[in-house]
Amino acid sequence: MTAGIPLSPWLATVLAAVFAVTLAAIAHRVAAMVLRRATASIPVLHSVVLACIPVMRVLLPLITLQLVWQAASSDLPYIEGIRHFNGLCVIAGACWLLIAAISGLANGVIAQHPADVEDNLNARRIATQARVLSRTAMTGVVMAGLAMMLMTFPGARQVGASLLASAGVVGIVAGIAARPVFSNIIAGLQIALAQPIRIDDVLIIEGEWGRVEEITSTYVVLRIWDERRLIIPLQWFIENPFQNWTRTSSEILGTVFLYADYRLPLDPLRTELQRVLETAPEWDRRVSVLQLTDVTERTIQIRVLVSARSSGLAFDLRCRVREALITFIQREYPDCLPQVRMPADVAAKAPLSMQTP
């Protein structure tokens, strides 16, 4: 009987906590249904609501529990520790809610501008800005949440105050050590606003051709054509030059170089080029040029310039044109392939292996 007396205050508090959690669950279910229907006609807001609903399923009970613990008597054993722990959970849940809302907002904006269209330049620009800015904001939320959680510990506040008062050198060292992190964050903001690169842009970096697969708050993932991944810090793009083949448009010119004998007539080759391009789905009908661009003591250099809607199509078109023109020369003008000429008297004295049949 005496053992049960100290438990009665806790029993009332626990019952109140159970009632509060049940009430929070019911409120969450009703609010989720109402908000889903109310925001169905607003895609971006609907995306934010959908992202926040799972978080609120956890956060609402935590908030109601915190109210119960605060209303409970301070004489209850362990109540201060429970209040502190629940408060930390509420802070973590609030940060989680903000991160979910930011993510939902970014996803909603990106979904409004699909990139699976032929001219997706504007969609890629918006997707890059949304992802980089959202991840930067998420980083700020996490740092602010950790700072708020640490400030709930009296010991941490005292340590922080003493470090600020007497350890200025340590602060300078920490600032120097953290410089790469902050420089990458600032570089991320510059990239999001100035747009030197975007998601799915075609870049040439360190001699590697690839597409931008992901832009995080600290680095960029470049998907190389052979499925490798090149990881580049954001700061690198601010400090180094690089090629962006899709900066203002995905349209691009492709070149094909051929080497032939001086006797090769160019007009039939131009006619064959036009015939090949007319049947090539990769050609966008903008540019079709065949020119003799250089000569050496043995061969002529022929440059073919063609256009395509994207770099991938341009590569396929170059291969198609190169194969077709080489086959044409082999079939129609086999004697105009690159040759090594010798005077007749020198050829007669040459070993049999060097003489042409």
Tokens read off for 51: 């992202």
Encode pLDDT of 305-342 as tens digits.
999 888 788 889 999 999 999 999 999 998 888 877 66
283, β-bridge pairs: 308
Tokens read off for 92: 């973590």
pLDDT for residue 165: 47
Rg (CA), the chain: 34
Does residue 78 come out as left (phi exceeding 0), alpha (psi in the -120 to 50 range) or beta? Answer: left
Instruction: Count other Cβ atoms within 10 Å, centred on residue 31.
Output: 14
Residues recorded for the chain = 357
Closest CA to 310 of 164, 202, 216, 192: 202
The Cα-based distances of 183 to 72, 218, 235, 239, 307 in angstroms read 48, 9, 7, 11, 39
Residue indicated by tokens 């079709």: 288
How far is Cα 105 from Cα 126, in angstroms, rounded to an integer?
Answer: 12
Instruction: Please report the domains of the chain, with CATH numbers, ordered by start residue.
Output: 7-112 (no CATH), 151-249 (2.30.30.60), 252-336 (3.30.70.100)
pLDDT for residue 100: 92
Q: What is the separation, in whole angstroms, between the first and last Cα of the chain?
A: 118
pLDDT for residue 160: 47
Mean pLDDT of the chain: 81
Return the H-helix or E-strand segment holding 137: helix 121-151
Return the H-helix or E-strand segment holding 300: strand 300-308
| Sheet containing 300-308: order of strands | 252-260, 300-308, 283-295
How far is Cα 195 from Cα 112, in angstroms, rounded to an integer?
Answer: 19
Encode pLDDT of 197-210 as tens digits.
888 888 888 888 88
pLDDT for residue 117: 63
Residues of the chain below pLDDT 70 = 1-9, 115-121, 155-185, 188, 341-357
Longest dimension (CA), the chain: 128
Burial of 110 (0-12, 13-18, 19+ CB in 10 A): buried
Burial annotation 223-250 (CB, 10 A radius, 16+ → b, else e): eeeeeeeeebebbebbeeeeebbbeeeb
How far is Cα 223 from Cα 243, in angstroms, rounded to an integer?
Answer: 15
pLDDT for residue 250: 73
pLDDT for residue 174: 44
